[in-house]
Structure 1
Amino acid sequence: MNHALAHAASASLIRREVAGLPRYDPGADPDEVAALSGSGRVIKLSNNENPFGASPRVAEAVRLALAEGVSRYPDPTGRRLAQAIGTALDVPAERVVLGNGSENILELLCQAVLDAGDLVVTQAPGFSLHETFPRVMGARVEKVPVTAEFGFDAQAWSTALAGGPKLVFLANPCNPTGVVLSAGQLEHVLAATPESALLVLDEAYGEFARSRPGYPDGLEALRGLDRPWIVLRTFSKAYGLAGVRVGYGIASDPALVQALDRVRTPYNVNHPAQQAAIAALGDHAHLAETVRRTALEIDRVGDRLRASGLRVVPSSANFLFIDTGRPADRVARELHRAGIIVKAWREPGYETYIRASLSTPGDNDVFVRCLTGICAKENR
């Protein structure tokens, strides 16, 4: 077999929109970092996971779900989970859509809404899939930058939204910065967004931000608007269910949910995941304790890094965006040698930044010591 010819033939089949896309960067492989560092334990700070774990109720719910057997398909509608979410948020269950993580719903939205050439407006710096999924569909993406101090640029948003987007992706808090929009800033975006556009409010990290003063509840802000919108949330972050993949959206009307149902795979959330999410949703005390402990570490670690001379963006999420003052890829490789994984940011203009999700206090202390040591050594 001529592998070069086969490769060329395969490449010719790929749509040009797909061929030019970057691969999603999940961060370094823990096994490779363990081998490089010679450490039996790796501190993984690259994926914004919950170091405190899921509610104890989740393990029992998953055990019972597995005992029921895995040979049958799950409920394709996720009816019980949708009803539980609807009850918790005071919305009809038919306006709740489930996904294999909330990023799956981002993908479904692009598949259901976008035509080639449509305009999508989102943030910069921002979550890469807010750009990647629209580009898969051949859409144009305009990214609205933050101010030099990572603040909200009202004029830039007004200008971008005046261009007539079909989709608007707005994350609050923002990934990777952890910065939140105030109620007034969110209202500015809502007022400037054309009524013909679908407004997507991504609140993947909203549970962490709700403990902070001034954070607006996006669902409440959108609830009374007579226009298309959807709020996305997830069980992967504050609820600690990243391994089973459950996200959800609350839509402005059932017709939007029905459109997403037409393009999603029929069984996109498995049965143990649905049961785990129901259990996690009901344990309010565990969620509150996770949020409390996370906020303490975000503030403590941020203050220590700033005291060492590093620029750290104030965060209301479970991660920090840190300007190392040198190429982030190089810093990340140095941290790998210490058994620590962070995410080097590669978005243009932010190549000296790393994003680090926080772990337990002991792990965080190791991270601070290693990062400040690397930066101090390079400054000599």
Structure 2
Amino acid sequence: MPLGKHKRDEVPALKPYNTGLTIEEVRVAYQPAHIAKLGSNENPFGPSPKAVEAMNALGSSIALYPSFPLHEDYATTMGATVEHVVIGDDFSIPLDALIEAAGRAKMLIFSNPMNPVGVWLGIDAFRRLISSLSTNTRLVVDEAYFEYAALEEDFPSALEELKGSGLNWLVLRTLSKAYGLAGLRIGYGIASSPDFKSYLDRARTPLNVNAADQAAAIAAIADEDHVRAGVRYIRSERQRLMQKLTESGFKVASSAGNFLFIDAGQLSDTVAAELLTTGTIVKPWRQQGFRDFIRVSIGKAEDNDKFVAEFLASSGKGE
């Protein structure tokens, strides 16, 4: 599919970055007895053993986030005007409003399931959305919570649904959630065509994923049993937590992610600050119209129970 009128004129003029040959590429191509890698100005003595030791010491802390930039920050930096489509009071995604807004957009960025609420477009709604799009609208589907959502009966895989759509699209997935590599900040995107990918490769920073991240990512993807077990556990705990909260009278959004979006009934900053005094960290939501909501990640059972007991007590609903 041609990329259409919204391709930036500057990008085609950029030359693809030449990263040079790796040792493995030379070994496969030529099978030499010895390889002297002298083309990339690398240190032949390697890193300090202390640096290697420090990386090894990170251990399971690579599951924790250091920081997190937002999609719209990058769009704004490029001079874009960002238009938000807000969910309804019943947590429903306003499909008609989304379709209307997309008709005016050069790019539609859509999370399925969405963060922070956790709701999602089902198969029929997703198909209606993509069938309404112009070929001049870039579609970016963020499936950060795909592994948790894929088990929902009506959840659409964007990759399957977008095949043959004729659109220019990019599906984003991450290893930060179900794969537990949040601290490494690594994920991947799948583009609709080689042409689209080639322009993305020219515009992005080359070599933007380091070797340690890549090694961890490959090993994490290969360990399917670990991911499946974690997803099952989180889904079970998510349901248990939601049941406890709704039975206690709280409004909680349905979620296909590893979190719940909860109407705390009072200012979220107040609730979050009180929970911090007992060592429980939640996310207060500060967006207009949702300042009474908190987002709570699903953790291990003992941490979930700690949150529920303290949250109910702070709300005057504890035993």
Q: Distance in 1 between matches of 2:69 and 2:131?
A: 25
State the structure with bigger RCO (CA 8 A, min sep 6), 1 or 2.
Answer: 1
Tell me the residue number matched to 1:356.
296
Tell me the residue number matched to 1:23.
none
**Contact 1:235/1:242 (CA < 8 Å) preserved in 2?**
yes
Greater percentage in helix:
1
SS in 1 for 2:261: strand
1:266 Cα offset (Å) = 2.0
Residues 1:138 and 2:87 are matched in the alignment: no
Tell me the residue number matched to 2:151.
211
Tell me the residue number matched to 1:268.
208
Uncovered stretches (5+) of structure 1, i.e. residues with no partner: 1-67, 72-103, 105-126
**Count of residue pairs brought into register by the alignment:** 256
Partner amino acid, structure 2, of 1:370: E
Tell me the residue number matched to 1:193.
133
**Contact 2:102/2:137 (CA < 8 Å) preserved in 1?**
no
* Closer/same/farther in 2, CA of residues 324 and 191 from structure 1, 3 Å limit: same
Residues 1:147 and 2:88 are matched in the alignment: yes
Q: Cα deviations across residues 308-365 of structure 1 (Å, max 9, x unaligned)?
A: 1111111111000000011101111001101111111111111110101111000100
Structure 1 residues 18-57: aligned runs within 5 Å? none
**Contact 1:301/1:364 (CA < 8 Å) preserved in 2?**
yes
Q: Distance in 2 between matches of 1:285 and 1:170?
A: 29
SS in 2 for 1:143: coil
**Contact 1:211/1:291 (CA < 8 Å) preserved in 2?**
no
Tell me the residue number matched to 1:156.
97
Tell me the residue number matched to 1:225.
165
1:368 Cα offset (Å) = 0.5
Q: Cα deviations across residues 66-124 of structure 1 (Å, max 9, x unaligned)?
A: xx9558xxxxxxxxxxxxxxxxxxxxxxxxxxxxxxxx9xxxxxxxxxxxxxxxxxxxx
Structure whose CA Rg is larger = 2
Partner amino acid, structure 2, of 1:371: F
Q: Distance in 2 between matches of 1:176 and 1:182?
A: 17
**Contact 2:134/2:167 (CA < 8 Å) preserved in 1?**
no
Q: Distance in 2 between matches of 1:335 and 1:290?
A: 26
Tell me the residue number matched to 1:3.
none
Q: Distance in 2 between matches of 1:148 and 1:128?
A: 27
Tell me the residue number matched to 1:339.
279
SS in 2 for 1:145: coil
SS in 2 for 1:230: strand
TM-score normalised according to structure 2 size: 0.76
CA RMSD of aligned residues (A): 2.0
Q: Distance in 2 between matches of 1:171 and 1:210?
A: 14
SS in 1 for 2:221: helix
Tell me the residue number matched to 1:202.
142
Q: Distance in 2 between matches of 1:261 and 1:234?
A: 18
Q: Percent identity?
A: 43
Partner amino acid, structure 1, of 2:213: A
1:173 Cα offset (Å) = 0.6
Partner amino acid, structure 1, of 2:268: A
Q: Distance in 2 between matches of 1:259 and 1:278?
A: 25
Residues 1:248 and 2:199 are matched in the alignment: no
**Contact 2:91/2:119 (CA < 8 Å) preserved in 1?**
yes
Q: Distance in 1 between matches of 2:303 and 2:246?
A: 18
**Contact 2:284/2:294 (CA < 8 Å) preserved in 1?**
yes
Q: Distance in 2 between matches of 1:201 and 1:174?
A: 10
Partner amino acid, structure 2, of 1:329: D
Structure 1 runs of 4+ aligned residues shifted over 4 Å read 68-71
1:169 Cα offset (Å) = 0.4
Q: Distance in 1 between matches of 2:129 and 2:103?
A: 11
TM-score normalised according to structure 1 size: 0.64
Indicate which of 254, 259, 262 corresponds to 1:322. Answer: 262
